Chain A
Amino acid sequence: MPSASALLGRHGSLVLLLALVLVVPVVADDYYLGLGATVGVQALLAMGLILVTGLAGQFSLAQAGFFGIGAYGSALLTVQHGWPHLAAAAASAAVATGLAYALGKPIFRLRGHYLAMGTLALTQILYLLANNLSFTGGSSGFGGVEPFALGGGLTFDTLREQFWLTWAVLLVALWGCLRAGRSREGRALQALGGHEAAASACGVNVSWSKTRVFAASAFIGSIAGSLYAHQLLYVNPAPFDVFASVGVLTVAVLGGLRSPWGAILGAVGYEALRQGIDKVLPGLFGEASVGAGQALVLGVMLVLVLVLRPDGFVGLLGAVAGSVRRWYAARTGRPAQDRAAPAPGDHATARPVPSGRSPMAGVVLEAEGLSKHFGGVKALDGVDLTLHAGEILAVIGPNGAGKSTLMNVLSGNLPATSGNVTMLGKALTRQPPHRVAALGLARTFQTPSLFAGMTVHENVLVGAYRGGKVGLIRSAVPTLAAAAEERRLSARVDGILERLGIVHLASAEATLLSLGQQKMVEIARALAQEPQVLLLDEPGAGLNLSEKADVAVVLRELRASGMALVLIEHDMDFVMQLADRVQVLVFGETLLVGPPEVVQSSPDVVAAYLGTAPAPDAPVEVADVRA
């Protein structure tokens, strides 16, 4: 997205498009005006799909269904019940949006592909209903719809006016989608597509966020349907079957799923191709073949575009513009303004954190009898854990001891089989990750889990998600408060980046950084949550010595500021120099908890790591230490 949106997403392209929309109707004849209005409707449908599939990564085939709800809703309410046109369009959109909520909320708790088939079924059901019910006019539909009229005699009768109306709505939708995509909620959605577990650990309510964007796509789809009904003045079921959904998908894929601009480029390209096919095919296969031949070409195109250029026209344009810029830069001798990942080793040393050491001695996090079983495997079996403010508790143990499982259960990424976790007196057992995050627990992951396609600054902003309130709609129609909130969150992120000494990486694409830098960004993202408890899953793994030293400095400062930290680590030197207490896990059970010196000298710990049989009196000794 960055390169494409750098090219297209700025105001220049919007102004250009606006100029085109104003000029085209003046020069075009009726045929092209009608075509333009149709293209506008297609683009609007594809825009809804790009929101839900491109931005949030959820495969929806409901677009034709919502399109149908809008068209039939507007037609039925205005023709048979005499409603004002705007009210009918609004009511239809409300129905579509409500349906999306009702269906999306339960389905999004499940695996993603259930949505694809569920929405396919929904589209098919609506199509069959329109075909079979009597009040919809059955398979031949009904006419008598009037051209769209606002109150006060403002009507859109001519093709030129309809063109303007459709493209005005489209431009507003484009502007809103572009804004929403760069907003707090848009970033959260993009993050969900990149790394769902990490996004939810940042406090993003996964199923709710997906549901809202699905509802937004339903709203846009329904509006497109209302416009369509008032253009054709007639509705019948055929344009709303499942292949219409496939058509919308083809438009979006052709244009590029990653940007709202893809909807417009895709719709124009798709219509041009269809016109071409209609001229060429009858000559190849005969008149009768047009339907199947068209479907064939479109299907082949869908496959080919995905295989050759998964980011569509927008990606292609971005790449072309990039090489033109580089060529121009090479000619003029000025460096290209490309975002490049800084060279590894280019890290500044961490700045000291204002050390107001205030060791609150209280217990922050407490787990009792925590178990997690996978079938017959007891990854965790009755583990207790106590964590105080201002301390670093290291959790060590051989591979398979259950360390990462413990972390996932504490953070809510895995539900516990049994046992309880409380944080500052509040129960967080079996709460979903975003709730746990809301209570003040942040985490990092063992393997790098930054969000692809987003800069370091944007990644850390996702961490600050819960610090804001502005939702999808308010960011699409920006208010002063929304802008102020965005500035506040951005300032918070800048502060954290500076504090960790990675402010120079702010605009680099996060997943292209070195492993050490990624680990640091992940810590920054967790800190943006302003947590009271921070869980770190192997923050030192894969880092070189100086990077490890940087991490150690940061962790000490966080402890000094009163934060409670749980550290999973294999590097014993790293653990022993940082930890206040060490908890040793073996086969899902606690072997020992104690200060680093005690743990280091325990023969049982050595035995657990090296695999020698424990001494016969070992269980007694363990019991002693635990008590």
Chain B
Amino acid sequence: MNVFQDLATGLSVGLVYGMIGVGFVVIHRITGVVNFAQGDLAVAGAFGAVWAAELVPPEVSVFAGAAVGGLLGAALYWCAVHPLRSQGLLVQTIVTLGAAVVIRSVVQLLFGTKPYAILPFTGGDPLRFGDVSMQRQTVWLAAAALVLYLLLTWFFERTMTGRAMSACAVNRYAAGVVGINATRMAAVAFTLSGAIVGFVTATQAPIAFVTSGVGLALALKGFIAAVLGGFDRIGLALAGGVLVGFVESFTASTISAAYQDVIVLTLLLVLLVARPAGLTRVKVSQRA
């Protein structure tokens, strides 16, 4: 019953939720699609790292995780979402759910339902602060999340492609008029989104085991993070994910581990009903 221990435990899983939330936000801002395969892209990326860790050191294998996540994200866009571009958002969203099932079952056919892990980047005992202990890998994970966040911010604000994507997010039609290729931007969004969730989930794999079936649960909690970020702000989505992680570990240690998901998901419903704007100040119902 130590709150600080809960914070330390919640941080690592929360960062993963937060990055999955960021993945939701990136895709949704640019295409309007809620990508139901987001969690399964993350899991597939982590398994990519598991596979690569047989051959290369763990800190290199996570880049394989990013590559797998990114490639699958691109494949998802070109094979499923893009062919349905004239069908409207509802159908495009449904197809991502179908893709989620496909990715999940392929991973399960390849790796079974057993949990997998990779070695931490640096060995040694957990760090201790008083009676609070924290895995060394959590520091790596936090650093990775921070660097990714800074890179994304730089990308969207400073690079030509990133700014073109931001323009699509504000007004797709006007972006098209000034010569921005919305299709290319959407493809970049799916690829980027897959790569970041693959990378982060792989980096977390030394702390928590990954299993093939965990994608949907990750997606749901990442979605909460995205809602907390108002489905718009990547910084707030990341922070929101960490918050979800804290709530989860706090519930598990003080109330009941069996009911932690029930409580977190009920909080999602409460959030949707009572404060859909999440941590932002904008009223969601007023936006287009």
Asked if B174 is at the interface of the complex by the 8 Å CB criterion, the answer is: no
B27 to chain A, nearest CB (A): 11
Q: Which residue on B lies nearest to A298, using beta carbons? A: B101
B44 to chain A, nearest CB (A): 13
Q: In the complex, which residues of chain B have a beta carbon less than 8 angstroms from the beta carbon of A259?
A: none
Kindly state the separation between the CA atoms of A606 and B286 in the bound complex, as whole angstroms: 36
A117 adjacent to B268 (CB under 8 Å): yes
Across the two chains, which residue of chain A brings its CB closest to B260? A128
Beta-carbon contact of A124 and B265 below 8 Å: yes
Also in contact, A132 and B259, with CB within 8 A (given A125-B266, A293-B109)? yes
**Interface of A (DSSP majority class):** helix
Chain A proximity mask over B115-151: 1 for CB below 8 Å, otherwise 0: 0000000000000000000000000000000000000
Residues of A within 8 A of B87 (CB): 306, 310
Q: Name the segment of A1-9, A31-39, A105-113 touching the other chain.
A: A105-113
Are B93 and A59 within 8 A (Cβ)?
Answer: yes
Does A173 count as interface, using CB distance less than 8 angstroms? no
* Interface bin, chain A: 35 or more
- Chain A residues with Cβ below 8 Å from B284 are 110-111
* B223 interfacial contact with A, CB 8 Å: yes
Asked if B259 and A307 sit within 8 Å, CB to CB, the answer is: no
User: Would A307 and B268 be within 8 Å (CB), given that A117-B34, A246-B101, A296-B109 are in contact?
Assistant: no
Q: A103-B273, A296-B105 are in contact. Are A303 and B93 (CB under 8 A)?
A: no
Chain A hits for B108, CB < 8 A? 291-292, 295
Is the pair A289, B109 in contact by a Cβ cutoff of 8 Å?
A: yes
Inter-chain contact B220/A121, CB cutoff 8 Å: yes
- What residues of A have a CB within 8 angstroms of the CB of B217 in the complex? 124
Known: A117-B220, A299-B98. A292 touches B109 (CB 8 A): yes
Cα distance A292–B98 in the bound complex, in angstroms: 14
Known contacts A132-B262, A307-B84: does B91 contact A122 (CB below 8 Å)?
no
Are A59's CB and B90's CB within 8 A?
yes
- In the bound complex, residues from chain B placing their C-beta under 8 Å from that of A118 are 268-269, 272
> How far apart sit A291 and B109, CA to CA, in the bound complex (Å)?
9
Which of A's residues lie within 8 Å of B, judged by CB? 53, 57, 59, 61, 103, 106-107, 109-114, 116-118, 120-122, 124-125, 128-129, 132, 242-243, 246, 249-250, 253, 285, 289, 291-293, 295-296, 298-303, 306-307, 310, 415
New contact pairs (15) apart from A128-B262, A292-B108, CB-CB < 8 Å: A53-B90, A59-B93, A61-B97, A107-B273, A111-B284, A113-B34, A113-B89, A114-B276, A117-B227, A121-B268, A122-B269, A295-B101, A296-B101, A296-B109, A306-B87
A-B residue pairs, 8 tightest by C-beta: A299-B101, A302-B98, A296-B105, A299-B102, A292-B108, A295-B105, A113-B34, A303-B98
Mark B residues whose CB is within 8 Å of A: 28, 34, 36, 79-80, 83-84, 87, 89-91, 93-95, 97-102, 104-106, 108-109, 212, 216-217, 220, 223, 227, 258-259, 261-262, 265-266, 268-269, 272-274, 276, 284-287
